[in-house]
Amino acid sequence: MPEGDIEFGTLENASAAVARLLAVTHASYERRAQLEHALESRIAIEQAKGIVAERYGLNVDEAFALIRQAARSHRLKLNDLVAEIHPGQETPAELAAMIAAERRM
């Protein structure tokens, strides 16, 4: 090779570099999707906490504790229970039972 020429590598090196770039890009897209899902879940939880707190005269920490306790005691995923809590609709039975039990104490 003449002295001023630059060697860019072999086709195998280029293919490996492209494969690494694609892998990093794919991982970035997956991470972004995970973060978006986490944010959406967090927003739903915060809304449910607010609804339950307002509906039953609780602070948001108490509301979250009851939601979490209801999910655990009924073997539900927190997000599944939270998805059932909406303004203007009945409180899910699992949570209503937990709140009733707390009020009897």
pLDDT in tens, 24-55: 999 999 999 999 999 999 999 999 999 999 99
User: DSSP character for 85?
Assistant: -
Q: Which two tokens stand for residue 44?
A: 């739903």
CA dist 14 → 21, 23, 77, 82, 94 (Å): 11, 14, 46, 49, 58
- 7 has a pLDDT exceeding 80: no
Q: Reduced to 3 DSSP states, what percent helix, strand and coil does the chain have, rounded to the nearest 5? A: 75, 0, 25
Global pTM reads: 0.71
User: Please, what CATH class does the domain formed by 11-104 belong to?
Assistant: mainly alpha
